[in-house]
Amino acid sequence: MTAKLQTHLKTLFFIGCVFALSACNAFDRVEGIGDSPQMSSIQDPTQSPGYIPVRMPMPAPSLHENQPNSLWQPGARAFFRDQRASRVGDILTVVVTVDDQAQIANETKRSRNNSDTANATNLFGFESQLHNLLPAAVAPSSLINTGSTLSNDGSGSVGRKEQIDLQLAATITQVLPNGNLVIEGKQQINVNFDLRELDIKGVIRPQDISSSNTISYNQIAEARINYGGHGEIQDVQQPRYGDQLIDILMPF
């Protein structure tokens, strides 16, 4: 088998793999024609494949002395039972209100102009012999005349604006040894064959939960917020697989 034939076979094999991968997704899309995107079932996040419990640096645990005759219980915030989420399985509302805007502009300019002139009209009487070493048209009065000009102008700007206003319920999945809570929540909205998904997870402090059992996204440590979706509108906005492949492989 010649090297040229081997190259053609490898090329055909690569093209066949690309078409096979795209065909798998194409079949799924064909089967879903006329149907709205299916929502996923409600699941326990801790039972999901690949779930990893959160581990954070913790101070040494402190032991609370039991006081049977006291009206106060260890960790209680008031005489009455606190209705805010505090245990695994409790639900609280996360408020995501992002309104960020950034404007950055930089400009740098540099310029330099040099000029050097030298003559040798009297060089110990040897100025008349310069034509033996240099071109015949040499003139001792303008032996060296150089000049250089440098100019550099660079500018750059960045403009960014993000605005999100959402609310979703999250579930406490862990209570860490220091009392902090690990939360995770998912929300799906199906509107006109377009499925929108909002996922959030992170670590919060119990004292940051408001009296209305809500917490702001900027009070979540290690926050992971994902807002996206899929459906007919998303499919139209995405470039075709061939365009994505060409965009990855083309070096120019």
**Per-position b or e across 9-38, b if 16+ CB within 10 A of its CB:** eeeeeeeeeeeeeeeeeeeeeeeeeeeebe
pTM (2 d.p.): 0.59
Assigned token pair, 14: 């690569």
What residue ranges do the domains of the chain occupy? 104-157
8 Å CB contact between 109 and 156: no
Task: Give residue 202's pLDDT.
Answer: 93
**Per-position b or e across 202-220, b if 16+ CB within 10 A of its CB:** bbbebeebeeeebbebebb
Instruction: Give average pLDDT by consecutive 10-residue segment, the chain, 252 residues.
Output: 68 65 60 70 82 80 59 58 83 89 86 81 68 67 78 84 87 92 91 88 93 93 88 77 75 64
Between CA 34 and CA 27 the distance in angstroms is 14
Task: Give residue 56's pLDDT.
Answer: 78
Task: Give residue 246's pLDDT.
Answer: 77
Task: Give residue 9's pLDDT.
Answer: 72
Task: Give residue 26's pLDDT.
Answer: 62
8 Å CB contact between 137 and 160: no
The dihedral built from the CA positions of residue 206, 208, 210 and 211, taken in this order, carries a sign that is positive
